[in-house]
């Protein structure tokens, strides 16, 4: 049985282990049989590049076993791809030489509900010997989760997906729904579409917690239940591609770009996370996460995640889509930890000492993490004060203008629903880099026994500059160059990424800065609106 991500740091395919190859091939053929029954012809095998674009190679379903065992050939040049498909030759990426193998992960093999005939699986990128590619962000998430598990800690995570829809067929942006923000009118306008989004995600085995019209014109948001970090990053990819496909079937075009118009509120990609372990919490009254808590909108609180999608037993069920739900474990997903260390403690906002250190590690490194979570020039057009994007490097209880927002959850849940929301990130990000970066930053906070500054309980923009300075509240980087400077100076993220990936990420970012050096905001938005 294949365990959750933290139990499989080592590559599961050894080029020399014939027995393991046979086992995997048999599992792949079994899954393929289920897919064929559902009319699946092709499997889209995806990874996300460093500029945040999901790239793919497809295999006919009959070739899935060979793909799983031997991998699909792909150039390492993708590490150096930019948002405009240009290639940046960096020190560690961008050359024409070399070959990687893309190994679809059967744990996440899913029939795509809105693309009949297609299934999807995220890939692990390995070299010819089966060793992880040093620049594979998906492997990085696994490594960081395993490191935390070594301390007896698990993270539950979920990405909030915001997007805006326009009628298909034009490159400009005209909102396809004209009703007010959060208004029921938008459901009258696009109710069939929104229903089909929920149906498709549910058929794919995901647990939808919420869907609603967002603030900006034509904008919507969907939240799904928390999972382990690798599962959450995979799910981020699946949700985006499913929303995109359902949109197409309704004559709509979905934009996940940080900004769809130069003015106004953008699309965020907020990350919710909670930290689980044994001991230290004063909670533990036996309250488990429930559908009620999850669906009440506590984001990455311990909702009923599709945890079974992580296990080999889910293989058949996941391939069957909706039936995967039947196999989903009831109760909350907490990675096996008993206590949520973000609640029930004696620290600020009910944090335990461990929870506070983890949060403080993230807060301290937010400027550097921006190079991963707000990775495009367009990201900084979104990241402006007083638009709920979290433009200030501070934390607060339930404060939507703080980049780091602690959501303690209802007192009756005794801290078990507590979670942190990182608001400054957007969906131009590679979710694997985001997940890995957050784990590494939080872990560094544990190593340092870091402490949080006092929480901020107002919109920092409403304070005069002297008061902000007195409280130590700084703006996050206001352009990509500043974020890259913080990232390149950050030893924790360099160690986590490894020198090659760290260097490549910085090179790809610098190339994008050069690409848009003379572009005004409208031109940046136009060039990136439909890319992510």
Residue from the set 38, 212, 400, 471 that interacts with ligand GLU by CB under 6 A:
400
Nearer to ligand GLU among residue 161 and residue 450 (C-beta): 161
- Please say which residue, 47 or 163, places its beta carbon nearer to ligand GLU: 163
The SS3 of residue 21 is helix
Between 50 and 387, name the residue whose CB sits nearer to ligand GLU: 387
The distance of closest approach from Cβ of residue 263 to ligand GLU in the complex, given in angstroms and rounded to an integer, is 13
Torsion of Cα atoms, 225 then 125 then 268 then 221, to 10°: -40
Per-residue x/- track, 212-231, Mg ion (CB under 5 A) = ---------x----------
Burial code (b: 16+ CB inside 10 Å, e: under 16) for 495-518 equals: ebbeebbbbbbbbbbbbbeebbee
CB of 424 to ligand GLU, least distance (A): 8
Nearer to Mg ion by Cβ, of 139 and 221: the residue is 221
The residue within the footprint of ligand GLU, chosen from 389, 446, 483, 526 (CB under 6 A), is 389
String marking each residue 409-428 x if it binds ligand GLU according to CB under 6 A: --------------x-----
- Binding partner of residue 388 among Mg ion, ligand GLU, none, CB under 5 to 8 Å per kind? ligand GLU
- Provide the residue count of the chain: 532
Burial 348-367 (b: 16+ CB within 10 A, else e): bbbbbebbbbbbbbbbbbbb
Q: How far is the CB of 301 from ligand GLU (least distance, A)?
A: 16
Q: Which is nearer to Mg ion, 264 or 348 (CB)?
A: 264
Q: Which of 103, 382, 502, 509 binds ligand GLU (CB under 6 A)?
A: 382
Q: Which is nearer to ligand GLU, 258 or 332 (CB)?
A: 258
- Smallest distance from Mg ion to CB 388, Å: 7
Residues with Cβ < 8 Å from 143, sequence gap 6 or more? 9, 436
Other CB atoms within a 10 A radius of the CB of residue 57 amount to 16
CB neighbours (10 Å) of residue 440?
27
Question: Minimum CB separation from ligand GLU for residue 8, in Å?
Answer: 33
* DSSP designation for 429: S
DSSP 477-531: PSSHHHHHHHHHT-HHHHHHHHHHHHHHHHHHHHHHHHHTTT--HHHHHHHHTTT
Binding residue count for Mg ion, defined by CB under 5 A: 1
- Verify binding: residue 401, Mg ion, rule CB under 5 A: no
Closest distance of CB 120 from ligand GLU, Å? 26
Q: Does 396 bind ligand GLU (CB under 6 A)?
A: no
Query: Between 160 and 228, whose beta carbon lies closer to ligand GLU?
Result: 160
Distance CA 147, CA 169 (A): 47
Residue from the set 388, 397, 475, 488 that interacts with ligand GLU by CB under 6 A: 388
Return the DSSP state at 16.
Answer: T
SS3 392: strand
Residue 127 binds which entry of Mg ion, ligand GLU, none, CB below 5-8 Å type-dependent: none
Binding pattern to ligand GLU, positions 256-295, x when CB under 6 A? Answer: ---------xx-x---------------------------
Q: What is the DSSP string of 279-330?
A: SS-S--SSPPP-HHHHHTT-TTSS----GGGGSTTHHHHHHTTTHHHHHSPS
Contact 214, 162 (CB under 8 A): yes
β-strands 402-407, 392-397 pairing: parallel
104 binds ligand GLU (CB under 6 A): no
Cβ of 33: how many Cβ atoms within 10 Å?
Answer: 12
Which among 291, 276, 289, 275 has a CA at the least distance from the CA of 208?
291
CB 150: neighbour CB atoms within 10 A? 11
- Smallest gap, in angstroms, from Cβ of residue 400 to ligand GLU? 5
Mask of contacts with ligand GLU, 142-171, x by CB under 6 A?
A: --------------------x---------
Tell me the closest approach of the beta carbon of residue 418 to Mg ion, in angstroms: 19
Cβ neighbours around 294 below 10 Å, total: 28
Minimum CB separation of residue 213 from ligand GLU in Å reads: 11
Q: Please identify, using beta-carbon distances, which residue of 221 and 503 lies nearer to Mg ion.
A: 221
Structural tokens at position 171: 């490159």
Residues in contact with Mg ion by CB under 5 A are: 221
Residues in contact with ligand GLU by CB under 6 A are: 162, 214-215, 265-266, 268, 382, 388-389, 400, 423
């Amino acid at each position: 049985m294949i365990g959750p991500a933290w139990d499989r740091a080592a590559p599961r395919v050894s080029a020399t282990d014939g027995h393991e190859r046979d086992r995997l091939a048999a599992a792949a053929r079994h899954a393929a049989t289920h897919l064929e029954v559902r009319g699946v012809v092709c499997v889209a095998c995806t990874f996300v590049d460093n500029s945040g674009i999901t790239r793919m190679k497809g295999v006919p379903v009959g070739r899935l076993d060979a793909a799983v065992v031997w991998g699909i050939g792909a150039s390492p040049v993708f590490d150096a791809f930019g948002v405009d498909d240009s290639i940046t030759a960096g020190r560690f990426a961008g050359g024409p030489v070399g070959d990687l193998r893309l190994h679809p992960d059967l744990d996440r093999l899913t029939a795509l509900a809105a693309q009949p005939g297609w299934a999807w699986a995220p890939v692990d990128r390995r070299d010819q010997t089966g060793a992880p590619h040093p620049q594979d962000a998906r492997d990085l998430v696994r490594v960081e989760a395993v490191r935390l598990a070594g301390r007896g800690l698990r993270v539950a995570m979920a990405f909030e997906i915001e997007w805006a829809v326009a009628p298909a067929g034009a490159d400009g942006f005209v909102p396809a729904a004209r009703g007010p923000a959060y208004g029921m009118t938008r459901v009258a306008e696009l109710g069939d579409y929104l229903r089909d989004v929920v149906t498709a995600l549910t058929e794919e085995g995901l647990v939808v917690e919420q869907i609603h019209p967002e603030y900006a014109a034509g904008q919507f948001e969907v939240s799904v239940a928390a999972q382990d970090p690798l599962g959450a990053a995979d799910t981020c990819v699946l949700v985006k591609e499913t929303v995109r496909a359902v949109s197409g079937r309704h004559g709509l075009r979905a934009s996940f770009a940080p900004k769809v118009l130069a003015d106004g509120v953008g699309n965020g990609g907020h990350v919710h996370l909670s930290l689980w372990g044994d001991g230290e919490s004063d909670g533990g009254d036996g309250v488990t996460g429930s559908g009620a808590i999850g669906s009440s909108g506590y984001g990455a609180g311990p909702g009923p995640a599709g945890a079974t999608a992580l296990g080999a037993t889910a293989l058949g069920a996941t391939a069957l889509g909706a039936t995967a739900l039947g196999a989903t474990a009831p109760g909350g997903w907490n990675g096996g930890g008993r206590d949520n260390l973000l609640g029930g403690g004696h620290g600020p906002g009910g944090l335990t000492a461990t929870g506070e250190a983890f949060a403080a590690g993230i807060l301290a490194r937010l400027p550097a993490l921006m190079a991963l979570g707000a990775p495009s020039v367009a990201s900084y057009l979104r990241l402006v004060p007083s638009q709920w994007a979290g433009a200030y490097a501070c934390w607060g209880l339930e404060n939507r203008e703080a980049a780091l927002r602690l959501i303690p959850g209802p007192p009756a849940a005794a801290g078990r629903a507590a979670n942190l929301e990182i608001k400054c990130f957007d969906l131009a990000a590679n979710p694997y880099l985001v997940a890995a970066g957050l784990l590494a930053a939080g872990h560094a906070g544990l190593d340092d026994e870091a402490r949080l500054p006092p929480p901020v309980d107002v919109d920092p923009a409403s304070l005069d500059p002297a008061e902000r300075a007195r409280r130590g509240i700084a703006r996050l980087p206001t352009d990509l160059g500043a974020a890259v400077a913080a990232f390149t100076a950050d030893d924790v993220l360099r160690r986590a990424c490894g020198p090659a990936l760290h260097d490549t990420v910085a090179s790809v970012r610098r190339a994008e800065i050069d690409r848009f050096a003379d572009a005004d905001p409208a031109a940046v938005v136009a060039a990136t609106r439909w890319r992510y």
